[in-house]
């Protein structure tokens, strides 16, 4: 089993019907994660395992406000087993892909123990940054009924951060911290560049609402 165009096409066909409901976790998201993974992978990576993990990591996709979301990556890993076996993956490859899928999730808190798992986690988190990250933030927030920001205190200088209510708060709570959490050198470099573009957007955003970004939000 190799990382051929045929394998990618077969994986896309498997997930196509299951990835239509969430614009932030759709088939295009899987394509971008695979693109990111190829950009940060090195020669030691098992590319068929990585390809499979990229396209099957969101088989079970629960809303961000679902209390069972922390179990979604484990469920995705379990459901990927028969699919991978049917595609001709060996038992070792199936287990490797399942570990990468289970460990990719921020909320699952499973340590990624293999190179493929580290690459997938970085590749998935890179899709939360940069221009796509900006678009996804507001797409998800709109779907969940969250407002853009707190007009009285846009950058939470005198209140606790609340990213369940304010979309911009999520940038400080999670998104702008992602570069420091990358596990691959290449992933970290890309993440830092994308986070920089997001911070430039925040500066423009702040200027348009007559506010300024506090020093506590500054990224390095």
Question: Same domain for 137 and 56?
Answer: no
Residue where one domain finishes, among candidates 79, 113, 147: 113
Residue where one domain finishes, among candidates 85, 113, 141: 113
Residue where one domain finishes, among candidates 78, 113, 148: 113
- Residue-wise pLDDT tens digits, 166-195: 999 999 999 999 999 999 999 999 999 999
CA proximity to 217, closest of 174, 167, 182: 174
Question: Same domain for 101 and 158?
Answer: no
Do residues 97 and 117 make contact, with C-beta atoms less than 8 angstroms apart? no
Question: Same domain for 101 and 175?
Answer: no
Question: Same domain for 24 and 80?
Answer: yes
Question: Same domain for 82 and 12?
Answer: yes
Per-residue pLDDT band at 4 (split at 50, 70, 90): confident
Per-residue pLDDT band at 101 (split at 50, 70, 90): very high
Domain hosting 19: range is: 5-113
Please state whether the predicted TM-score (pTM) of the whole model is above 0.85.
Answer: yes
In a domain, 119, yes or no: no
In a domain, 32, yes or no: yes
Question: Same domain for 11 and 108?
Answer: yes
Give the pLDDT score at 24. Answer: 66
85: CATH: 1.10.3210.50
Q: Report whether pLDDT(68) > 60.
A: no
In a domain, 71, yes or no: yes
Question: Same domain for 98 and 145?
Answer: no
Spatial distance between the Cα atoms of 126 and 154, rounded to a whole number of angstroms: 25
Give the pLDDT score at 180. Answer: 94
Average pLDDT, the chain: 89
Question: Same domain for 10 and 87?
Answer: yes
- Residue-wise pLDDT tens digits, 118-164: 999 999 999 999 999 999 999 888 888 899 999 999 999 999 999 99
In a domain, 124, yes or no: no
Give the pLDDT score at 131. Answer: 96
- Residue-wise pLDDT tens digits, 77-93: 889 999 999 999 999 99
Question: Same domain for 198 and 135?
Answer: yes
In a domain, 54, yes or no: yes
Question: Same domain for 100 and 160?
Answer: no
Question: Same domain for 12 and 102?
Answer: yes
- Summarize the confidence of residues 52-71 as an average pLDDT: 75
If one counts the domains in the chain, the total is 2
CA dihedral 187, 191, 194, 199 (to 10 degrees): 180
In a domain, 125, yes or no: no
CA proximity to 90, closest of 98, 101, 102: 98
In a domain, 118, yes or no: no
Spatial distance between the Cα atoms of 41 and 30, rounded to a whole number of angstroms: 16
Question: Same domain for 67 and 160?
Answer: no
In a domain, 49, yes or no: yes
Give the pLDDT score at 62. Answer: 66
């Amino acid at each position: 089993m190799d990382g051929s165009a045929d394998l990618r096409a077969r994986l896309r066909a498997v997930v196509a019907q299951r990835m239509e409901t969430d614009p932030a976790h759709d088939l295009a998201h899987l394509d971008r994660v695979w693109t990111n993974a190829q950009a940060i992978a090195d020669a030691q990576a098992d590319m068929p395992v990585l390809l499979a993990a990229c396209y099957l990591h969101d088989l079970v996709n629960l809303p961000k406000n679902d209390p069972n979301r922390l179990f979604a990556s484990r469920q995705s890993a379990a459901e990927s087993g028969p699919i991978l076996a049917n595609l001709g993956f060996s038992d070792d490859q199936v287990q490797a892909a399942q570990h990468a899928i289970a460990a990719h999730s921020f909320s699952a808190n499973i340590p990624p123990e293999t190179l493929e798992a580290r690459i997938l986690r970085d590749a998935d988190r890179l899709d939360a940054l940069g221009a796509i990250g900006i678009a996804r933030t507001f797409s998800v927030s709109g779907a969940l009924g969250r407002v853009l920001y707190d007009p009285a205190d846009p950058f939470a200088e005198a209140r606790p951060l609340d990213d369940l209510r304010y979309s911009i708060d999520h940038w400080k709570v999670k998104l702008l911290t992602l570069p420091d959490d990358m596990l691959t050198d290449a992933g970290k470099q890309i993440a830092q560049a994308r986070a920089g573009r997001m911070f430039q957007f925040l500066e423009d955003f702040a200027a348009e609402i007559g506010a300024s970004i506090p020093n506590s939000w500054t990224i390095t």
